[in-house]
Structure 1
Amino acid sequence: MGQKVNPKCFRISPNLYKGWSSVLYAKKGDYSKKLLEDIKIRNILKKDYSAAQISDVVILRTSSNITLNIFVKKPGIIIGKSGADIEKLKKALQHFLSEEIFINIKEVKKIFLDAELVAQNICTQIENRISFKKAMKTSMQNSMKQGSLGIRVLCAGRLGGAEIARAEWYKEGSIPLHSLRVDIDYASCQALTTYGLIGVKVWINRGNFTKI
Structure 2
Amino acid sequence: MGQKVNPISNRLGIIRGWDSNWYGGKKYGDTLLEDSKIRKYMNARLAKASVSRIIIERTLKLVTITVCTSRPGIIIGKGGQEVDKLKEELKKITDKEVQINIFEVKRPELDAVIVATNIARQLEGKIAYRRAVKMAIASTMRMGAEGIKIQISGRLNGAEMARSEMYKEGRTPLHTFRADIDYALAEALTKVGLLGVKVWICRGEVYGKRDLAPSFAAQKDSGRRGDNAGGGRDRDRDRGGDRDRGDRRRKKPNR
The two structures have a TM-score, normalised by structure 2, of 0.79
Unaligned runs of 5+ in 1: none
SS of structure 2 residue aligned to 1:91: helix
Matches within 5 A, 1:161-180: 161-180=158-177
Runs of 4+ in 1 over 2 A off after TM superposition: none
In the TM superposition, residue 98 of structure 1 has moved relative to its aligned partner by 2.5
Match of 1:39 among 33, 36, 41: 36
**Rounded Cα–Cα distance in structure 2 between residues aligned with 1:109 and 1:211:** 24
**Rounded Cα–Cα distance in structure 2 between residues aligned with 1:125 and 1:116:** 14
In the TM superposition, residue 165 of structure 1 has moved relative to its aligned partner by 0.8
Match of 2:124 among 127, 130, 147: 127
Amino acid at match of 1:94: K
In the TM superposition, residue 211 of structure 1 has moved relative to its aligned partner by 3.4
Instruction: Say whether the 8 Å CA contact 2:68–2:105 is kept in structure 1.
Output: yes
The two structures have a TM-score, normalised by structure 1, of 0.95
The answer to whether structure 1 residue 80 and structure 2 residue 77 are counterparts is: yes
In the TM superposition, residue 210 of structure 1 has moved relative to its aligned partner by 4.8
Amino acid at match of 2:11: R
Amino acid at match of 1:8: I
**Rounded Cα–Cα distance in structure 2 between residues aligned with 1:141 and 1:188:** 19
Task: State how many pairs are aligned.
Answer: 209
Instruction: Say whether the 8 Å CA contact 2:20–2:56 is kept in structure 1.
Output: yes
CA RMSD, Structure 1 to Structure 2 (Å): 1.3
Unaligned runs of 5+ in 2: 210-255
**Rounded Cα–Cα distance in structure 1 between residues aligned with 2:89 and 2:8:** 30
Match of 1:209 among 206, 211, 219: 206
Specify which structure has the higher proportion of strand: 1
SS of structure 1 residue aligned to 2:95: coil
The answer to whether structure 1 residue 16 and structure 2 residue 45 are counterparts is: no
- Tell me the alpha carbon deviations over residues 55-76 of structure 1, each in whole angstroms, 9 at most, x when there is no partner: 0000011122111110011111
Give the aligned partner of residue 185 of structure 1: 182
Overall identity of the aligned pairs, in %: 46
Alpha carbons of 1:147 and 1:3: their partners in 2 closer, same or farther (altered >3 Å)? closer
Give the aligned partner of residue 100 of structure 1: 97
